[in-house]
Amino acid sequence: MWLTFAIIAVSIVSFAAEKVPLEITALFTLAALLVLFHFFPLPDALGQNRLAPRVLLAGFANPALITIMALLVIGQGLYQTGALEALARILSSAGERAPQLILTGALISAGVISAFMNNTPVVVLFLPVISALVTRQGGTGARYFMPLSFLCILGGMTSLIGSSANLLVSGVAERLGAPPIGFFDFAIPGVFLAGIGGLYAIFVIPRLLKPLKTRRDKAAILGGKHFIAEIPVTRGHALEGVACVLGLFPALKSMTVRMIRRGDRTLLPPFEDVVLQAGDLVSVAATRKTLTEALKSGSKILTLDDEAKSGGQKHWGGLTLAEVMISPGSNLVGRTLAESGLRKATGFTVLGVERRARILRVTMNEIRLRSGDILLLLGSRKAMAELSANRDLLLLGGSLHDLPRLKHAGFAQIVFLVTILVAALGILPIVISALGGAGLLIAGKCLNIRQAARAFDRKIYLLIGASLAMSAALEATGGALYIASAMDTALRGVSPALMLSAWFALIAVLTNVMSNHATAALFTPIVMTSAAQLGIEPVIFLHMLIFAANCSFATPMAYQTNLLVMGPGHYRFGDFFKAGAPLVLLIWLAFSLFAPWYYGI
């Protein structure tokens, strides 16, 4: 038991210090437990080792872990198809009329959606929406990116699949003999706690995180490079008949019109009384993000020709965006795009050209390429994979990004809703429902195998597998009983309500220095033992564990969405403690007051 404690203590310190990659810590923890119980077996009544390798490694086949991985694939499928883009566009558009009200609605929407799908794609989707809404008010996203992450975590407290920690607690508890936790079993206290925390996140945190000048400056600097792109206005195009207003074209949001080519005439800014007509070629400057949004949206402003569309349909991989640099000594230097034959040779469509510190007043086909120019290319994933052999073009690392498969969005939404309903109504166990939903999304070409594999997070997989091994060792060696007895001895004579509150406080602190996955797996046998010693239904302590393990607000490494917003918000470690620690305290107090009444203890 004490050797098990030592291994767990070392792993906790390593997880918190982050000096060693999480995967390495998880692997060494597993190896240490396997070696320990190989040389010092723990025999059962039949003389079999209770912690043989098949037992310690059984966590990797745990239904809760399989469910988590399947739900990550479903979340990736929704993201790849842009299944939630319509909601994001509606919120962003409505924000023009009542930005503060719609901003609050967007944050609440993110929290509600997070109750039914993985938080990471929800945060990725809502980050640009929140940024746009805040910008309209003249503010900075730093005040609302952290509340976005926190609201997604809070939303995850309300249903069984809202957080992977919830599934882990249910899975480990079921293995230890407890009845399975239902889909909405803890929804009432979960909604109560999420409501309390949500009010704090929406109305208090933005005032705690004042828009520092350095954050404002960094946000401006990181706005992104601008590409020169072209929009041909054809008969029936969305821009046909659009007039400029005060020198700007309202339909071209976040784009700067550099030039309009009308036949042999070139119209330059400032524009006055200009009405776009069929045959015009509009040259704009825009970031990659803006161009991508224009391609994804239903506005039909930036469209692809039939050749570009068919290029993605020929391959399972669909269409992909990438940035490439014209290499020194490239055969393309000195040629225009028209002369380069790039499209015929590679199959790529050039969406934009970026040349640093230069304002280009010519059409894209007239630009003579130089070494160092960056091209924004659109093509199939297969063609992009062949770029490494092209000596004329250098693929910029990290620039590959698949375009959403918008035509599959409806199918993805239906699969997602059916998956949730089948699990919520108890028609099928959640593991079968989630696996079936993930398989349907792949079979329906909402995402391919490579994208599904990318959703399969090895850090989560290894951490959960190692945590389940530690949990099994704690239970088998009597460590869980020892910790529970020590807690009961330290708080001897207190009421069950106070004991419940004390456990919540301890777990809420540890989840911010470990992770919610490790905390959930480790403490499930401990709190079940404590509940048994007090003569209380274990489900009450299991619900407490779910809420406490999800209090991942005080540190950035406590939850992946905190790390996701840390960069865009330019947060420091202290910002999370400043805004998140009071939220942990608030949720603890709210639970401590609500639980005795709700559970009748």
Phi, psi of 30 (to 5 degrees): -60, -45
Last residue of a domain, one of 402, 420, 445: 402
* Backbone phi, psi, residue 97, to 5°: -90, -40
Name the band, by pLDDT with cuts 50, 70 and 90, for residue 135.
Answer: low
Within-domain flag for 17: no
250 and 324 within one domain: no
Diameter of the chain by CA atoms? Answer: 93
Q: Is residue 85 scored above 70 in pLDDT?
A: no
Q: How confident is the model at residue 6 (pLDDT cuts 50, 70, 90)?
A: very high
Domain end residue (candidates: 389, 424, 455): 455
Q: Indicate whether 188 and 236 sit together in one domain.
A: no
Q: Looking at the domain assignment, is residue 391 inside a domain?
A: yes
Is the same domain home to 107 and 210? yes
Mean pLDDT of the chain: 80
Mean pLDDT in residue range 88-100: 65
Q: Indicate the residue type of 340.
A: S
pLDDT at 150 over 90: yes
Across 12-16, 188-192, 258-262, 461-465, the highest mean pLDDT is recorded for 188-192
Q: Does the residue 43 lie in any domain?
A: no
Does the pLDDT value for residue 137 go beyond 70?
Answer: no
**What pLDDT, on the 0 to 100 scale, is given for residue 359?**
56
pLDDT digits (tens, 9 = 90+) for 252-305: 777 888 888 888 888 888 788 888 888 888 888 888 777 777 776 555 666 665
Rounded Cα gap, residues 135 and 143, in angstroms? 11
Cβ–Cβ < 8 Å for 318, 312? yes
- Whether 206 is covered by a domain: the verdict is yes
**Residues contacting 305, CB < 8 A, separation 6+:** 349
171 vs 166: CA distance, rounded Å: 9
b (16+ CB within 10 A) / e for 168-182: bbbbbbbbbebeebe
Q: Sorting pLDDT into bands at 50, 70 and 90, what band is 155?
A: very high
**pLDDT at residue 187 above 90?**
yes
Query: Which of 286, 292, 302 is closest to 226 using CA atoms?
Result: 286
Q: Would you state the pLDDT for residue 285?
A: 83
Q: Give pLDDT, residue 136.
A: 62
Residue 213 has pLDDT above 50, yes or no: no
Pairwise CA distance, residues 220 & 212, whole Å: 13
How large is the average pLDDT for residues 488-500?
Answer: 84
| Mean pLDDT in residue range 204-211 | 81
> Which of 35-39, 425-429, 483-487 has the largest mean confidence?
35-39
pLDDT at 217: 42
pTM, two decimal places: 0.65
116 and 71 in a common domain: yes
Residue 399 has a pLDDT of 61
CA angle 178, 182, 185 (to 5 degrees): 105
Task: Decide which of 244, 265, 296 is a domain's last residue.
Answer: 296
The answer on 79 and 197 residing in a single domain is yes
Give residue 368's domain range.
319-402
- pLDDT of 212 strictly over 50: no
pLDDT of residue 494: 83
Residue 505 located in a structural domain = no
- What is the predicted pLDDT for the residue at 221? 36
Count of C-beta atoms within a 10 Å radius of residue 93? 12
- Residues 398 and 411 both lie in one domain: no
Domain at 268, CATH number? 3.30.70.1450
* pLDDT of res. 551: 93
Tell me the per-residue pLDDT of 49-72, one tens digit each, with 9 for 90 and over. Answer: 888 999 889 888 878 778 878 877
Q: Is residue 441 part of a domain?
A: yes
Mean pLDDT of 443-460: 79
Confidence at 15, pLDDT banded by 50, 70, 90:
confident
Higher pLDDT, 7 or 121: 7
Instruction: Examine the pLDDT at 329 and tell me if it is beyond 60.
Output: yes
pLDDT higher than threshold 60 for residue 317: no
Q: Which whole-number Å values give the CA distances from 506 to 165, 464, 538, 592, 601, in the listed order?
A: 16, 20, 18, 13, 20
Q: For residues 246 and 269, state if they share a domain.
A: yes
Q: So what's the pLDDT on residue 220?
A: 40
What distance in Å separates the CA atoms of residue 517 and residue 163, rounded to the nearest whole number? 9
Looking at residues 77-93, what average pLDDT do you find? 69
Q: What is the DSSP letter of 226?
A: E
Do 92 and 157 fall within a single domain? yes
Mark whether 208 and 239 lie in a shared domain: no
Please report which confidence band the pLDDT of residue 138 belongs to, taking 50, 70 and 90 as the band edges.
Answer: low
pLDDT of amino acid 402: 66
Does residue 427 lie in a domain region? yes
Q: For 17-46, what is each residue's pLDDT tens digit?
A: 767 887 888 899 999 999 999 999 988 888
Query: pLDDT-based confidence at 81, cuts 50/70/90?
Result: confident
Q: How confident is the model at residue 99 (pLDDT cuts 50, 70, 90)?
A: low
Q: State the Cα–Cα distance between residues 376 and 378, nearest whole angstrom.
A: 7
Structural contact between residues 38 and 421, judged by C-beta atoms closer than 8 angstroms? no
554: tokens are 């005080």
- In this structure, the answer to whether residues 194 and 116 fall within a common structural domain is yes
What is the total count of domains within the chain?
A: 3
265 and 165 inside one domain: no
Q: Which residue type, as a one-letter code, is found at position 27? A: L
Measured CA to CA, the distance from residue 506 to residue 508 in angstroms comes to 6
The beta strand positions in 186-309, using DSSP E, are 226-232, 256-262, 265-267, 281-287
Whether residues 84 and 108 fall in one domain:
yes
Q: Is residue 174 part of a domain?
A: yes
Q: Bigger pLDDT: 591 or 514?
A: 591
Q: Report the pLDDT value the prediction gives residue 339, as an integer from 0 to 100.
A: 82
Q: CB neighbours (10 Å) of residue 447?
A: 27
pLDDT, mean of residues 488-502:
86
Is the bond leading into 41 cis (omega within 30 degrees of zero)? no
3-class secondary structure, 266: strand
Q: Which two tokens stand for residue 195?
A: 């409501």
pLDDT digits (tens, 9 = 90+) for 505-538: 989 988 886 678 878 888 898 889 888 888 889 9
What is the share, in percent, of the chain residues with pLDDT greater than 90? 18
